Amino acid sequence: MRLQYPPEIKIIMIPCTGRVDILHLLKAFEGGADAVFVAGCLEGECHYLMGNIRARKRVNKLKKDFTEIGMEPERLEMFNLSSSEGPRFAAIAKEMSERAFKLGPSPIKHEARAAWLAEHPEVKEAS
Amino acid sequence: MAKKVQAKNPVGKVMVVGAGIAGVQAALDLANAGFYVHLVEKKSAIGGVMAQLDKTFPTNDCSMCIISPKLVECGRHLNIEISTLSEVTGISGEPGNFKVTVEQEPRFIDPAKCTGCGACTEACPVGVPNEFNIGLNEAQAIYRLYPQAIPATFAIKKYDRAPCVRACPANLTAQGYVQLIKAKKYPEALALIMDRLPLPGTIGRICPHPCETDCRRQEMDEPIAICNLKRFVADQVDWKALPVPEVEKQAGAVAIVGAGPSGLSCAYHLALKGYKAVIFEAAPEAGGWLRYGIPEYRLPRKVLQQEVDYLKRLGVEFRFKTPIGPGLTVNDLLTRDGFRAVFLGVGCQDSIRLPVPGADAQGVLWGVEYLKEASSTGANPVKGKRTLVIGGGNVAMDVARTARRQGASQVTLICLESREEMPASPWEVEEAEHEGVEIVTRWGVKQIIAAGGKVTGIEMKAVERVFDEQGRFSPTYFENQTTTRDTDVVIMSIGQKANLQFLTPADGVELTPRGLIKSDPETLATSREGVFAGGDVVSGPYIAIAAVAAGREAALSVDRHLNGQDLKADREAPLRPIPKEEGHWSEIQKDAEKLPRALMPHTPVEEWIKSFKEINLGYSEEEAVAEAARCINCGVCSECLQCVVACQAGAVMHDQGPRKTELNVGALVLAPGFQAYDPTKYSAYHYANYPGVVTSMEFERILSASGPFAGHLIRPSDHLEPKKIAWLQCVGSRDLHHCDNSYCSSVCCMYAIKQAVIAKEHSKEPLDTAIFFMDMRTHGKEFEKYYWRGEEEHGIRFIRSRVHTIDPVPGSDDVHIRYLTENGELKTENFNLVVLSVGLESSPDALNLAKTLGVEVRPETRFAETSPFTPLSTNKEGIYVCGVFQSPKDIPQSVMEASAAAADAGELLAAARGKDMKVQILPPEKDVSGLEPRVGVFVCNCGINIGGVIDVPSLTDYARTLPHVVFADENLFTCSADTQGKILQAIEENNLNRVLVASCSPRTHAPMFMETIREVGLNPYLFEMANIRDQDSWVHMHEPEKALEKAKDLVRGVVARLVNLEPLHKMEFPVTKAALVIGGGVAGMESARSIANMGFKAYLVEKTDKLGGNAWNLVVSSRGYDYRGYLEELIADVKNNPNIEIMFNSAVTETSGFVGNYRSTVTTPQGKRELEHGVTVMATGGQALSPEEYLYGQDPNIFTALEVDKLIAEKDARIAKANQAVFIQCVGSREPERPYCSRLCCTHSVESAIELKKLNPDLDVFILYRDLRTYGERELLYKEAREMGVMFIRFDLEGKPKVEKTADGGLQVTVTDPILGMPVVLKPDLLTLASAVLPNPIEDLGELFKLPRNAEGFFNEAHAKLRPVDFPTDGIFLAGLAHYPKPIDESIAQAKAAAGRAATFLALEKVSVGGVVASVEPDKCAVCLTCVRTCPFNVPVIDYQIDAAYIDPAKCQGCGVCVSECPAKAITMKHYTDIQIIAQETALAAG
């Protein structure tokens, strides 16, 4: 369909969202990502039956942890969609990209964050 | 019905004819099922029409993207041998053992050498309409059908040699040098001319150019000025600087007598062969007649001289003033002077003397001598004198015009012939007149009047005729009709003859009765061995180019003679003209723009007679190039040989000839496809005349990113971006007025909607699209929804109207459409572009093929004759048919039939499976463990798909900077076969141990690349793709810079992953050669029977106590097909087949395993059965909806379709008594809650209506319908029903018919007739409701086998287009109503297709499993059971011997859930390890 979405979105392929480990999500942030989302099959339609349910659990757990450590939980999300929902994928990509821009560099990236905060005095650090 | 046979001792090879998607699929299925396949294709590449399509409906997948991997697989398959440019021309033998003759046109390229680099195409000057792009742009004569073509080898398109080449006595490659002039390649053009002619500047000035006489451009306007162009080229070079080719010297000197055109030519060609050529010439200078006969104003001496000088540089020796004769005879040359051969090219140097009284008077001169004197000594016998020239040929013209220049006071030319008959070139006559020569025709000389020995005048007699009935020169006169003319000089110029006094008896050269030298017409050998003769002295006076040709021919003979070879053996005969109607040449575009021939610039006419200065000035470069561009390339390839120069690989073979082979095969599958209807004949739509009218095939190419406009939606005529486009449906379909195609083409409604949707996506501006149609036939799976989306979401306008005439809009290429709406209102509208939705028809090639093979076609439609019960079988046993040639259909249906035809062939040849297969031996795998990663990166431009957005060179440069990357390169199409070769080469040369392809989706392309690297011993898992197309260039096309940055990120991420990858090895398991078939209806039984006939076991599980399913209800067929008989025979066959085991009242309740090794539990009344099977077929069927509307169930006279069939079968009395019968269509179908068409009901109702009419001709039958969907050849039934008087009334979803009971207990149906705009009240005695088809409930089975279903509950196939019988899970297939509603013939075809696909696994001895699976490190395992509880497939078990979990790699599905859950991180997911994932994501995120 070649629906346009922001180029900041970069996709990494895994066999099933069930393979997504909390470790992978953390490493993505550590590596420099400002937002991460997991795109899985619709619930009930997992080729491997339960993989997406497991993934959602892990994502939700991590979001909770984020809140506790003072990182915006909106930086992480899990979505369910089917392979024929190209437009929805593009919409999600846009939404997540907008979130990342709105939230600014992730707090893990101290220098970038500080510079960004300097440019955006209106933003107050949560903690 | 023919009984199924299995051939005895069959051949294990199958021929598939036609390599479109159907042929390719059939070939793949056969080859994967153990047969060797000969795939025969008429074109130069496989792929057929599907390769030309832009997108495919209903998924909008890119057609090329999805077919390309299949083509590559086909091209690479060890057991598929592709013969392109080939045709079947004969067959003998019997089923199981045929001998098929295949004739192959030459490709002119050696496939073993061609690298597909395309350098040849760039060098080729010949542009011809691009066949692949339907002529919307040009392709070269050396071409590849499309960039991804398989085979990737280029080909040269050659028709017969062009008429100009054939007309030239010397066979100069006229088309070739004209093309090179067009390309401004003058040295190359000159070299091509000089391959045969050493005197281009000379001949280019004086030749009467028979080439132009035969030029076919004159059928459009005027012939190409070939001769002038030759002169132009000769004038472009500095002859002094013209390089002299280096040739190896040969022993032996050759004497040439005469330095005229034949002698010069002979010497030249001998010199080029390395011989010493010595020319003996009586005159002081070279040229013969060219120098001493042709006046300078036509041929300046310096032009001739520079060409002669070039000959001298080549080593030709001239001995002037050296006449042959006594003292230096021919015999002396041979016996005394050491010459090993002699060529006599002495011409015809004497004038023929006219024996008239008074010819010896003073003042009577002879033309030849006059010219010779004038040019050598400057003698002037005419100055100030009245001069009469006698003769009508070119020499006479030269004489007359020379006389004018010499100052004759008056020049009159008298000839026998009329103006039209004059042998002189008309332009010569015209120019002579311009110079003041008076031309007097149709008079002959009676006598010359002299006084005192001096001429005073002549007496002339009137000519009666010049030529006799046979056209021979034989003048007769009116002897009494005479006149006289006064004159001072008479110059007789009536012909020339040879002067052979120099020959002596010792020379031994025989003469002809006409006084010419006798020489062999082919070899030019005279009666004296070693002496050859040619030119005018052999032929009599003729044109110089013929003498040049003779000189060359003689040189070839001399060469043979000197080498002791036979003069005639294998000698190439000169080409001679062939009749126009016999020649196969490029088509003349009669309607193309008229372009005037370039006029030769000349000096002012009044200057002409003032001197002997050359009159013609020659073309300017601009004029020459434009003139050359007028050439229509009759022969397509011009044989300019630029490709030979350009091809670094030396692959071009211009002399390749056709090849004929006989192949031994057991069966044939015919898939010759179709041709699109040519609407040129459809006068009302003015396709040929209006530039704003295009065909749907053209529109596909316009939309295509690889098309002529790179996917920009423009009108081809003026490149305007259209704002309004109309589609006119049924062009060449459902039409007996404009064509002979009464059938429906089945695909056009859907493709028109698709084109409208895609066009809207392509258009920058909002695009208005309107589809003018009769019935919207969106009868396939997911089609109806696509139609609705087209209307509701995309805003396509659907206008129910057949447009009758269209008009041009003056002053633009727009088209004015007038149409009548359904209610008769006249409307008009203008469109920028009109697309004709052209239908499909059998091509003449396909019909020829059928004829050759004795395969019958239906006379009404010209598609292959088949029965609904054996839909793939032709009348010839062992010859099967699939695809559109079977009947018009879409791609999935064609693919299905291809697999089904493969099954049919597989049944016939079951005994030979595997017998003739080739087995691939792969090199041992390289051990890369412990080696430093060496990554090669291949970046794909994907034509413009990637390269058009992303700066690929920058990306490639960037890739080189990444750690471990030791090689990076870019390619136009990385998936093309030639690039695969390049990858292999790069792996070898750079010792790569990891490969990255940055291109498109790994889903479609990774398997192919993985196979490729395995070929050189690299483990296939040391490969990875970066998807810079689907995830980058396509989705960020307006942000090229950001797209480039992202591409760098993606590549960097994948490189990081790649360096961490490890080789993986699959495990092999033996295949259980049995199938589990679920469902005992027709589909299930046909599948089981086919599998059993192929030699495998089939378990047939039926939930009821009876086989047959819905087919028991089918009783009516207007075509006389006996459904019941077929069914009973099938059931008996299945029951008696020793390979089939049937389980009644049974259900599958458990299943596990993987392809080749499934294990299922069937619960039977006798208890549970454990079955082992390699594959599974889902044929669970469907059922008719029980209507909840139209008072169904509330009146005894309301029936469903199947119920009324029963009445018909039983010839129920109610039918005979009835006055009126009504059918209501779409009962429950195409409704919001059931948004699909049930596909079979329209045809069913039409058939039933016909039967009712047959039983009761007085019965009024009405069919109330929404769109009548008698697709394909079913349309003929619709036509028949209308002809029988069945009435059809349309209604809309909003205005559905109302069914009521009347007071008298009767039925009343009210429907608004859209044509009348008024309600019609019907009072049926029989009311039939065509109710929807529903799938049987399959939720449980679907969940058990984990098979996807669509929203309506039908099983979903793996891919709507190309995997219509597969499930995503390997080894499970589907057929029949469980997939989608379909008539019985399609169910049978799909059932056989499932069997055909199943055979590709059942034929294997082993399947490989594993690879990407989880494995436990026992040391880390704490036996916490998390994995055991987590695994959705119950794979992990605790192995108490080692106290750790164990995961069976054959069962592991590879999802990785357990890996991520394992608290001890004891489980690793191969190919997706934490290290690999984290390396990729951190590298990716770092951007």
ipTM of this predicted complex? 0.95
Q: Is the pLDDT of residue B1410 over 80?
A: no
The rounded distance, in Å, linking the Cα atoms of B952 and B855 is: 52
A-proximal residues of B, 44-73, CB under 8 Å: 59-60
A-proximal residues of B, 1008-1037, CB under 8 Å: 1027, 1031-1032, 1034-1037
Q: Is the pLDDT of residue B5 over 70?
A: no
* pLDDT tens-digit series, residues B1018-1062: 999 999 999 999 899 989 988 999 999 999 999 999 999 999 999
Name the residue type at position B374: A
Inter-chain contact B1046–A47, Cβ cutoff 8 Å? no
Among A33, A48, A58, whose Cβ lies nearest the Cβ of B1432? A48
pLDDT-derived band at B943, boundaries 50, 70, 90: low
Kindly state the percentage of chain B with pLDDT values over 70: 99
Inter-chain contact A90–B1482, Cβ cutoff 8 Å? no
pLDDT of residue B1289: 96
Name the residue type at position B91: I
Q: Is the pLDDT of residue B3 over 70?
A: no
pLDDT of residue B1004: 65
Q: Is B512 helix (H, G, I), strand (E, B) or coil?
A: coil
Q: Which residue of B has its CA nearest to A51?
A: B1457
pLDDT of residue A83: 61
pLDDT of residue B974: 83
Inter-chain contact A2–B1035, Cβ cutoff 8 Å? yes
* pLDDT tens-digit series, residues B94-118: 999 999 999 999 999 998 878 676 7
| Whether the Cβ atoms of residue B67 and residue B74 lie closer than 8 Å to each other | no
Q: Is the pLDDT of residue B2 over 60?
A: no
Q: Which residue has the higher pLDDT, B1286 or B981?
A: B1286
- Closest to B184 in 3D by CA, of B809, B493, B568, B623: B623
Q: Is the pLDDT of residue B1451 over 80?
A: no
* pLDDT tens-digit series, residues B443-467: 999 999 999 999 999 999 999 999 9
Mean pLDDT value across residues B375-387: 93
Mean pLDDT value across residues B358-367: 92
Chain A residue numbers with beta carbons less than 8 Å from the beta carbon of B1037 are 2, 4
| Whether the Cβ atoms of residue B1368 and residue B1116 lie closer than 8 Å to each other | no
Inter-chain contact B1457–A54, Cβ cutoff 8 Å? yes
Chain B residue numbers with beta carbons less than 8 Å from the beta carbon of A20 are 1460
* pLDDT tens-digit series, residues B1162-1204: 999 999 999 999 999 999 999 999 999 999 999 999 999 999 9
pLDDT of residue B1073: 97
pLDDT-derived band at B122, boundaries 50, 70, 90: confident
- Closest to B661 in 3D by CA, of B102, B14, B39: B102
* pLDDT tens-digit series, residues B787-816: 999 999 999 999 999 998 899 999 999 999
Q: Is B1013 helix (H, G, I), strand (E, B) or coil?
A: helix
| Whether the Cβ atoms of residue B876 and residue B853 lie closer than 8 Å to each other | yes
Distance of residue A13 Cα from the nearest chain B Cα, in angstroms: 9
Please check whether residue A88 touches B, CB under 8 A: no
Inter-chain contact B1472–A12, Cβ cutoff 8 Å? no
Please check whether residue A4 touches B, CB under 8 A: yes
pLDDT-derived band at B306, boundaries 50, 70, 90: very high
Q: Which residue of B has its CA nearest to A54?
A: B1457
Look at A32-41, B226-235, B301-310, B583-592 and tell me which has the smallest mean pLDDT: B583-592
pLDDT of residue A61: 95
| Whether the Cβ atoms of residue B238 and residue B331 lie closer than 8 Å to each other | no
Inter-chain contact B1457–A16, Cβ cutoff 8 Å? yes
**From the candidates B1038, B1451, B1477, B1482, which should be mutated to test the interface with A, based on the most A CB atoms within 10 A?**
B1477
The rounded distance, in Å, linking the Cα atoms of B1426 and B1436 is: 10
Q: Is the pLDDT of residue B1108 over 90?
A: yes
The distance between the two most distant Cα atoms of chain A, rounded to a whole number of Å, is 47
Kindly state the percentage of chain B with pLDDT values over 90: 84
Instruction: Name every residue whose Cβ is closer than 8 Å to that of residue B415 and which is 6 or more positions away in sequence.
Output: B390, B391, B392, B396, B422, B439, B440, B441, B442, B443
Task: Give the DSSP H/E element, type plus range, for residue B18.
Answer: none
Q: Is B1312 helix (H, G, I), strand (E, B) or coil?
A: strand
| Whether the Cβ atoms of residue B1199 and residue B1187 lie closer than 8 Å to each other | no
Mean pLDDT value across residues B153-179: 96
CA-based end-to-end distance of chain A: 43
Scored b (16 or more CB within 10 A) or e, B1404-1438 reads: beebebbbbbbbbeeeebebeebbbebbbbebbee
pLDDT of residue B1445: 95
Omega within 30 of 0 (cis) for the link into B151: yes
Among A5, A19, A29, whose Cβ lies nearest the Cβ of B1472? A19
Instruction: Name every residue whose Cβ is closer than 8 Å to that of residue B160 and which is 6 or more positions away in sequence.
Output: B578, B583, B584, B585, B634, B635
The rounded distance, in Å, linking the Cα atoms of B1294 and B157 is: 57
The rounded distance, in Å, linking the Cα atoms of B39 and B14 is: 8
pLDDT-derived band at B1, boundaries 50, 70, 90: very low
Kindly state the percentage of chain A with pLDDT values over 90: 66
pLDDT of residue B4: 54
pLDDT of residue B253: 94
pLDDT of residue A125: 64
* pLDDT tens-digit series, residues B637-683: 999 999 999 887 789 999 999 999 999 999 999 999 999 999 998 88
Look at B629-643, B1306-1320, B1374-1388 and tell me which has the smallest mean pLDDT: B1306-1320
Please check whether residue A91 touches B, CB under 8 A: no
pLDDT of residue B1007: 82
Inter-chain contact A4–B1487, Cβ cutoff 8 Å? no
Mean pLDDT value across residues B301-307: 96
The rounded distance, in Å, linking the Cα atoms of B898 and B900 is: 5
Mean pLDDT value across residues B214-223: 95
Inter-chain contact B1481–A28, Cβ cutoff 8 Å? yes
Kindly state the percentage of chain A with pLDDT values over 70: 91
